[in-house]
Amino acid sequence: PSGVSRRRQLHQLLDLALQRQQKLEGLSGSGLADDDLHEPRRQAVQGSNNMFTSRHVGVEGHHTLAVFQGLQPIKIQQLSRLERVDIRIRDALLRTTWCVRSRRHTDGREERLFDEADIPDLEIRRIDGAATHPGVDLDQLRADACVLALHVEDAIQKAQGLHATDCELLQGYLLFPGKKGRRHGPSFVKVGLESRTIVGHSRIDPLKQKRPHVESEAAAAAKQQKADRERIRRLLITLGDDNKKVVGQIRGLAGALEDDVELHGDLMASTVLECAKCLPAKAGIYAAWVARMAEKHAAWAIALAPRLVEELRVLIRSGRTRSAQILLQFVAGLGNSGLLGLDDVIALLEEVAALSSGLRPAKGGDLGVYLALSTLPYLSPAAHTKAADRVETLMQGVQPYLSSRQAGWTPILRFLKSQDSPDAFEALLTALTSMKRAGWTSQCVRHVPGTEPFLESKVDGMTLPKLEMTAEDVKKSKVRLQPALMAARLLSGAAENDGADDHMPCHDRWLLEEAILLTIDAFSLDVDECAKQLLRIPVLHPHFETILIETVFAQMFRLPTPPELPLFYIRLLEAIMEKQASTKALLEQYYAAIIQRASELDEECLEVLAEVYAYHLSHNAYQTEWSRFTGDSINPQAERLVRRMLDRLQRLSFHQNLLHRLPESVHVYVPPEPLLVTNLPVQQRPEFKKMLGLVKIKDADEDKVIALCESLQGGAPVPADAAADGEGLEKGGGEEGDEPAAKKRRAGAAPGEAVEGTGAALVKPKEEIKAEGGDASGSTEGAGVAEAIVEANAAEEGASKTSAPQEPWELFDVVALFATALFQNGAKTPTHLSKLLDGYRNVFTILRPPDDEPAYDFEKLLVRCAVDLWRCSSQRVEITVDMLLQRGLVTCRAAAESVLSGGGPQGCDSLAVWNVVNAVARKSLELSQSARLELAMAKRLGKPEASDRCKADLDRAVQQSAEVFTVVFTGLVRAYQDSEEGDAVRQVMLQRILAIGRKYHAFIKPLIDAAESRVPGVAQSPDVAAVFRSLALL
């Protein structure tokens, strides 16, 4: 009895303890690593050490009595080469051990709580930490064929069948209701004793209660696969970033990814090819890594070869020559490592060189030979030694093309007239000769040590398929390679002539410039990363930074068109200066040297230099050596340069700031303040203020404007309400925040009766404008507009507001009146002008003459009105003309002829005229290109009617483009003829003709060839005719 009483008391005490401390949580699907109820993955068992995979561990139910006796963790021992696992359970108090053989499960009855304790078959992560309760300690487990699961017969019923007397204490408290686990029956159960767990999970903190999250097997597998793919790509992309540990990185990455080839081999192949064609500094490193992987995964490497050739074929056909160069360097690296036989590498280069067979340089002849020969410097000295005969055969094969190549276009592509730099093709031939004398060694080419080339591949079956391209394919694809000129040595040339022996050999110079150009092309989308990659080029030479600055400028001045906008290059130079402070002095030296030679600069390059130098001054707080632009010794070209530069600088800043920040000695070159012109003859007419009052943004009424225009032409009189609106002028033509006219009339007034003092109230006096932050003297565009309106209010009001003029106006006078008023009211911002053009589109349509010739004159008049009104602001001229072109109010031909014929030779040299000419040229070509694409789409879809219509549209667009360029050339030739002999403008016009023909040569070649017969004045001007003959060489 005493024993029974003691047991009851103990039962009550433990009941209270378990109610407070026991925790129960379903584990089914509660973490990313949980795969399946019967096949768990990556589950952690607390206290596990030195784990191997296992599928079978048995834990007998009657041993749960040890919970209250301080049992030590279960220890599992396995002898070598045994197929069973023995479990020993030791009682820490009684020091007795029960041995259970897990394979037999002799005690496996249904009512037992712990039937099996299962271990993951992949891996078990260790969770360290002391346990104050019975745990499971698993050591050196082996795989077995039994089922893995922690089985609970019924998570809701009481625990039964515990084979010890005191185990009844746990009944009713040990288990809580659990949720179903996927589709395999009862869920996993986690039992918490003393705030600890018997079986933990690698993703779950046992001390925290977490809501179970059920996740499907497919989702978990997809997440794991995505993580693995990201890991592989990251490892491959960063390979070789540390220049000092390249060999170790290659060896380590090969070992890390060798187990991923089976599942992610395709991803690895595509990633390495993508890196090999986009990272020029690491093409050889990726080749060495592929060779290392081929030692254990030859099949994967063999499958890479056809994909490589296919990628090369795509790059050549699409005209991505820079990427094709890098990929061929990767092929050379595979040959250097012995994975590809040198015979296969040279055979591929011979196929590439054959793409130039029978083609002239203008038809793509330089492409194949240049790609093949530019790969030879990247073969290692050992490879050149073993394949010397094959390399000599390759050189002999391209000799006929080299002999017939005549680079007559080089002089018109030089940005300095005195520049004697060859193009990259000619420099390559010189570099190959120099490198051969140096034993095919170079400090600009990095070869991975520890590799050896072979004539035949060291891997059986590793060969390159045929390229399957011919010269005819290149001709049809219209892919052209225009080798760039080598950089002008404005800084390094002086260093080479100082007598020191530290100058760079010509082959190293070619390789370094080529590496810089390849890097800029590969990283042009990220300026900051591009600067980092340029500074990380592994070349240690005292002239490295100088050559870098010269090459970037040479690319920026590249003719006929640089690959990127000038803004990209100035941002790149600024980023280089931020990362390498020593380059700042070199940049200033280059600016000084190029400005000193401004008289030798090509006209197109002078415009680029003006834009770039304006950005540089803006970024450098307007600090520079201004003395080079002052004094009597300044040449006309340098003066034009500083005027162009300050015009662009004013667009980045504002007029008053320039006068404040710049020295007084250069104020004479500062352009006038960009104000609206207010003294035009049309603005002095009394009818002009009527039109200003009618043309407004808010409450726009096209009918009233049309009525006034008809009245001026002798039509019906203007209605009284329209006359009243014309009398009530608004600043800026009625801005968006103004009240409508209806709210400005007195309540109950007659429709035609205006409010007393309305006209005076709508115009703000100068003092009010000044109080709001404007300049009463008209220092801003908005103040200039307000002053113009004030002057219009003060003008004579005219004889009658309700009757037609005594003499009818000509149509074009009415058009000038309306257009000038509209442009003036929209002068506050381009947005205002845009809304006015859209609001009064019908007025333009009605005023436009129906016949072609008068309609063409109508368009020219609109452009002329904009140019005259914004005579002091070249930027607003460009914006206004562009808006007219976008809305179809004027044609490209009319805009070009209008701007070229308005101001004489000096007017043709203005920045606004030059920008408008280039804008209309591009727009006309865009129209023809769009028509060509539509025709190709119609043919592809097999629609004959649409094809005929698109063909007619294309012919019309091509004809219009030819007319536009004919007008442009005619205007430039006329300006050349009108200028006096010896005048600097005369040479400027010749340079303009050359620039237009050079930039758009591919689109207007028929016009250039027939310029003497199709462009008026060419036949009578020998200098102009010589320019067109030089353009024919391109």
Q: What is the DSSP string of 261-317?
A: HHHHHHHHHHHHHHHHHH-GGGHHHHHHHHHHHHTT-HHHHHHHHHHHHHHHHHHHH
Give one DSSP letter per residue of 962-1008, joined into a string.
HHHHHHHHHHHHHHHHHSPTT-HHHHHHHHHHHHHHHHTHHHHHHHH
For the ranges 790-799, 835-844, 971-980, the maximum mean pLDDT occurs at: 835-844
* Average pLDDT value for residue range 264-277: 94
958 or 183: which leads in pLDDT: 958
Q: Amino acid identity, residue 731?
A: K
Given a cut of 60, whether residue 93 has pLDDT beyond it is no
pLDDT over threshold 90, residue 909: no
pLDDT score recorded for residue 499: 61
Instruction: Compute the distance between CA of residue 925 and CA of residue 930 in angstroms, rounded to an integer.
Output: 8
pLDDT of residue 181: 35
- Res 635: pLDDT: 83
Tokens 């701007």 identify what position? 899
CA distance 327 to 337: 15
The pLDDT value recorded for residue 767 is 36
- What is the enclosing helix (H) or strand (E) of 641? helix 636-652
pLDDT range class, residue 408, cuts 50, 70, 90: confident
What is the mean pLDDT of the segment spanning 692-703? 90
pLDDT given for residue 477 in this prediction:
85
- Of the ranges 216-230, 704-718, 961-975, the best mean pLDDT one: 961-975
Lowest mean pLDDT among 405-409, 792-796, 885-889: 792-796
* Least confident segment among 13-22, 813-822, 963-972: 13-22
Q: Is 630 helix (H, G, I), strand (E, B) or coil?
A: coil
Beta bridge partners of 358: none
Nearest to 610 by CA among 573, 639, 653: 639
Over residues 491-520, mean pLDDT: 85
Q: At which residue do the structure tokens 């340079």 appear? A: 991
Over the chain, what is the mean pLDDT? Answer: 76
Q: Is the peptide bond before 206 cis (omega within 30 degrees of 0)?
A: no
- Rounded CA-CA distance 971/896 in Å is 9
- With contact defined as beta carbons under 8 Å apart, do 696 and 672 qualify? no
Per-residue model confidence as pLDDT tens digits over 613-641:
999 999 888 998 888 888 777 888 889 99
CA dihedral of residues 969, 971, 975, 976 (deg, nearest 10): 20
pLDDT at 822: 95
CB 894 within 8 A of CB 924: no
Identify the pLDDT of residue 498: 63
Q: In 318-467, which ranges are continuous DSSP H helix?
A: 321-336, 342-353, 365-373, 381-386, 388-404, 424-437
In tens, the pLDDT along 110-129 reads: 333 334 444 444 333 333 43
Least confident residue range of 235-239, 309-313, 784-788: 784-788
pTM confidence score: 0.72
Alpha helices, DSSP H, located in 826-943: 830-839, 841-847, 852-869, 874-886, 892-900, 904-908, 911-941
| Burial of 419 per CB tally in 10 Å (0-12, 13-18, 19+) | buried
Give the model's pLDDT for residue 906. Answer: 65
The pLDDT of 278-303, averaged and rounded, is 94
> From CA 508, how far away is CA 434, in angstroms rounded?
9
419: pLDDT strictly greater than 60: yes
Mean pLDDT of 901-916: 80
What is the rounded distance in angstroms from the CA atom of residue 884 to the CA atom of residue 905?
25
DSSP β-bridge partners for residue 90 = 97
Q: Are 379 and 335 spatial neighbours (Cβ–Cβ below 8 Å)?
A: yes
Q: Which range is most confident: 153-157, 797-801, 885-889?
A: 885-889
- For residue 12, the tally of other CB atoms under 10 A from its CB is 11
Q: Has residue 825 got a pLDDT over 90? A: yes
In this prediction, what percent of the chain has a pLDDT beyond 70?
69
User: Within its chain, how far is the Cα of 80 from the centroid?
Assistant: 60
Tell me, what amino acid is at 372?
Answer: A
Residue 86 in this model has a pLDDT that exceeds 60: no
pLDDT per residue over 381-406, tens digit each?
A: 999 999 999 999 999 999 999 988 88
Band (719; pLDDT cuts 50, 70, 90): low
Chain mean position to CA 494: 37
E strand or H helix that includes residue 86: strand 86-90
How many other CB atoms sit within 10 Å of the CB of residue 449?
A: 8
Higher local confidence (pLDDT), 119 or 969? 969
pLDDT of residue 39: 39
C-alpha angle 412/413/415, rounded to 5°?
105
pLDDT, tens digit, 9 for 90 and up, residues 557-608: 999 999 999 999 999 999 999 999 999 999 999 999 999 999 899 999 999 9
CA–CA dist 705, 700 (Å, integer): 9
pLDDT of 272: 95
pLDDT in tens, 986-1023: 889 999 999 999 999 989 999 999 999 999 999 999 99
Q: Which band of pLDDT confidence, cut at 50, 70 and 90, is reported for residue 984?
A: confident
> Angle of helix 603-619 relative to helix 566-579, nearest 10 degrees?
40
What's CA 971's distance to the chain center, in Å? Answer: 38
pLDDT at site 501: 67
pLDDT at 192: 40
Going along 391-496, which residue ranges are E strands? none
What share of the chain in percent tops pLDDT 90? 53
Residue 788 in this model has a pLDDT that exceeds 60: no
Whole-number pLDDT of residue 20: 56
pLDDT at 455 over 70: yes
pLDDT higher than threshold 80 for residue 482: yes
Give yes or no for residue 804 having a pLDDT over 90: no
Q: Which of the four pLDDT bands, split at 50, 70 and 90, describes residue 645?
A: very high
Where on the phi/psi map is residue 47: left (φ > 0), alpha (ψ -120 to 50), or beta? Answer: left
Quickly state the pLDDT bin for 794 (edges 50, 70, 90).
very low
CB 889 within 8 A of CB 844: yes
**pLDDT tens-place string over residues 3-32:** 666 666 766 776 666 555 544 433 333 333
